[in-house]
Amino acid sequence: MVVLPNRMVLIESKFETKKIRPEQAAFQIKTNSIIKDSLNTCITLAAYPKTNRFVMLRFDTGSITEEGIKCESEVVFSLDKDGFNDFLNYITL
């Protein structure tokens, strides 16, 4: 959990994978549907040190498809100070 001045971010962290279990996706979908009208969010961050990047994924009700749960919201940042600043700016817009 990250607490910022005007919002809170719940983060599921992963290492070298973006795969989450169905119950993790369900938790994000439910949480993001409850807090949808607020500045708060629930996301997954996946770190890839070998390629110097990290990926942010956000699951919501739009992630539920006929083929299963698919993340439609994926943003890539560099795994360095600049990338982390870009991530913070992105989530605080």
The pLDDT profile of the chain, 93 residues, written as one tens digit per residue, is 989 888 899 999 999 999 989 899 999 999 999 998 888 999 999 999 999 999 999 999 888 888 888 888 899 999 999 999 999 899 877
Q: 93: which 2 tokens?
A: 């817009």
| DSSP structure class, residue 35 | S
Q: Which residues contact 74 (CB under 8 A, 6 or more apart)?
A: 18, 55, 56, 57
pTM: 0.86
